[in-house]
């Protein structure tokens, strides 16, 4: 099958759609009037801040439905709470596949929860698309051909982060806090792989997502004398870490994952003053940047937020780099499938993306997949928080 190359123009999403088949071909969850899409998300529990991904997907699908749907079919989005607990994810995913009969799952959140259902979905050949995880296990087209992650590779971001730290802070003495699961370990592995020998890791701590606070870990890390802090944690623990570091007068240079670096969900709870200078990486435009308020993509995003995504603070980067992008890509794939809406054809299109450029992407960023390489992103932009928005640090970087 030829690879699909699209250039999106505004919310109209100017697609080169595949021609409709003479014979309609439907998989589970599809009829002449609707397409059922499933999702699991942590609406409750310690990572509930990440539920904005699913809320934003639902809001974008609402917009698409208000404009007539996908080739005349309404999108029925069924999103279930799994609390970021793998056993609950298994239960919810089985319901979506076996009872609700969804065509595919889209934008489900979390590395451990989604790893728990990866084999189940692949055994049943159910597309597990744009997973809210950058685990390399979701980029492996051979091992799990029905699973495709959406976030930039965690290991790759860790490597790029180590190189960025070395270039900007050659005297860094590094302390690390990492979540004790596949999420934290992937970032940690990549960071250590690329950290130059002249930069020293002086202290490491881990935490569990069920821990009430990370205060003791932050106190221990400060005692190491570190002047740089790699924070490989999810939203709640990240906010706690930044706030606690500031409270005990520890002011290292803080680096955190792009998938977590939300002004609304992390930096504001941590304290805006405490968060100034935090460094992260991104692939999308900063919708909070006063300098971009007349950018057409930013204006469209904010208009959509005001009309449809009213449950999510537009300052939450998960709304832009998570659900908004996931939903646009999914709608594009469904459009391109025409009337051949089978699981096999959906996966065929998802694994043949070439040069897909959404308006919300930074200039130079595009997504691409091949049947042997499921990595969506190969470019990232480092940026630092100035108290209101993000300032770009240098040019785009890539591995």
Assign residue 339 the CATH number of its domain.
3.40.50.2300
Average confidence (pLDDT) over 191-213? 96
- Of the pLDDT bands very low, low, confident and very high (cuts 50, 70, 90), residue 381 is very high
Q: What is the pTM of this model?
A: 0.86
Question: Residue 15: what pLDDT?
Answer: 39
Residues of the domain holding 196: 154-287+382-398
Q: Is the pLDDT of residue 8 over 50?
A: no
pLDDT (tens digit per residue) in 156-183: 999 999 999 999 999 999 999 999 999 9
Name the pLDDT band for 21 (thresholds 50, 70, 90). Answer: very low
pLDDT of residue 3: 52
| Alpha carbon distance 344, 279 (integer Å) | 40
The pLDDT of 360-382, averaged and rounded, is 93
For residues 245 and 390, membership in a common domain is answered with yes
Kindly provide the residue ranges of all beta strands, DSSP E only, lying in 125-198, ordered along the sequence. Answer: 128-131, 147-149, 173-179
Residue 18 has pLDDT above 70, yes or no: no
Question: What are phi and psi for residue 178, nearest 5 degrees?
Answer: -130, 145
| Mean pLDDT, residues 345-350 taken together | 98
pLDDT surpassing 60 at residue 13: no
Among 19-33, 186-200, 201-215, which stretch is predicted with the lowest mean pLDDT? Answer: 19-33
Same domain? 161 vs 83: no
Same domain, 218 and 133: no
Cα separations in angstroms, 54 against 105, 169, 309, 325, 399: 11, 37, 11, 11, 30
* Average pLDDT of span 186-213: 96
CA dist list (Å): 349 to 2, 57, 118, 126, 175 = 9, 19, 20, 14, 43
For residue 9, is pLDDT > 60?
A: no
- Same-domain check for residues 58 and 168: no
98 CB-near residues (< 8 Å, 6+ apart): none
Residue 353 — very low, low, confident or very high, per pLDDT cuts 50/70/90?
very high
Q: Are residues 231 and 319 in the same domain?
A: no
Q: What is the pLDDT, as a whole number, of residue 378?
A: 87
87 with 191, same domain? Answer: no
92-100: long-range contacts, CB 8 A cutoff, minimum separation 24: 92/40, 93/38, 93/40, 93/117, 93/120, 93/121, 94/120, 96/38, 96/39, 96/40, 97/38, 97/121, 97/124, 97/126, 100/29, 100/36, 100/38
pLDDT digits (tens, 9 = 90+) for 310-346: 999 988 887 777 899 999 999 999 999 999 999 999 9
Instruction: Indicate if 229 and 213 belong to the same structural domain.
Output: yes
- In this prediction, residue 245 carries a pLDDT of 98
- Residue 108 sits at the vertex; the CA angle it makes with 287 and 351, to the nearest 5 degrees, is 90
pLDDT of residue 319: 76
What's the pLDDT at 122? 98
| 159 shares a domain with 237 | yes
Residues 66 and 107 placed together within one structural domain of the fold: yes
Predicted confidence (pLDDT) per residue in 42-76, tens digit: 999 988 989 999 999 999 999 999 999 999 999 99
pLDDT tens digits, residue range 69-110? Answer: 999 999 999 999 999 999 999 999 999 999 999 999 999 999
Share of the chain above pLDDT 90, in %: 84
Could you tell me what percent of the chain has a pLDDT over 70?
94
- Please tell me whether residues 388 and 356 are part of one structural domain: no
**8 A C-beta contact, residue 70 and residue 35:** yes
Same domain, residue pair 373 and 386:
no
Q: What is the tally of structural domains in the chain?
A: 2
């Amino acid at each position: 099958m030829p690879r699909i190359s699209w250039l999106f123009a505004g919310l109209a999403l100017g697609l080169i759609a595949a021609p409709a088949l003479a014979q309609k071909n439907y998989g589970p969850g599809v009829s002449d009037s609707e397409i059922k899409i499933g999702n699991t998300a942590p609406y409750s529990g310690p990572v509930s801040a990440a539920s904005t991904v699913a809320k934003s997907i639902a809001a974008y699908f609402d917009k698409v439905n208000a404009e007539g749907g996908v080739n005349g079919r309404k999108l029925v989005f069924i999103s279930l709470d799994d609390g970021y607990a793998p056993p609950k994810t298994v239960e919810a995913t089985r319901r979506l596949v076996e009872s609700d009969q969804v065509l595919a799952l889209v934008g489900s959140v979390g590395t451990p929860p989604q790893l728990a259902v990866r084999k189940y979905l692949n055994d049943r050949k159910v597309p597990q698309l744009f997973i809210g995880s950058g685990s390399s296990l979701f980029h492996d087209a051979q091992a799990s051909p029905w699973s495709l992650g959406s976030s930039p590779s965690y290991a790759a971001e860790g490597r790029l982060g180590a190189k960025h730290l070395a270039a900007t802070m050659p005297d860094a003495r590094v302390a690390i806090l990492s979540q004790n699961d596949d999420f934290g370990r992937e970032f940690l592995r990549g960071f250590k792989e690329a950290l130059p020998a002249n930069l020293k890791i002086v202290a490491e701590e881990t935490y569990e997502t069920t821990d009430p606070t990370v205060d003791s870990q932050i106190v221990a890390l400060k005692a190491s004398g570190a002047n740089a802090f790699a924070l490989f944690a999810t939203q709640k623990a990240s906010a706690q870490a930044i706030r606690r570091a500031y409270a005990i007068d520890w002011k290292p240079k803080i680096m955190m994952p792009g998938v977590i670096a939300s002004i609304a969900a992390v930096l504001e709870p941590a304290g805006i003053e405490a968060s100034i200078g935090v460094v992260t990486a991104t692939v999308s435009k900063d919708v909070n940047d006063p300098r971009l308020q007349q950018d057409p993509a930013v204006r469209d995003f904010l208009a959509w937020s005001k009309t449809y995504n009213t449950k999510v603070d537009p300052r939450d980067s998960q709304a832009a780099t998570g659900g908004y992008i996931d939903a646009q890509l999914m709608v594009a794939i469904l459009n391109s499938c025409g009337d051949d809406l089978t699981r096999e054809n959906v996966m065929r299109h998802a694994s043949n993306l070439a040069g897909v450029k959404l308006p919300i992407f930074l200039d130079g960023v595009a997504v691409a997949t091949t049947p042997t390489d499921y990595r969506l992103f190969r470019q990232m932009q480092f940026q630092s928080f100035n108290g209101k928005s993000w300032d770009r640090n240098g040019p785009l970087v890539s591995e």
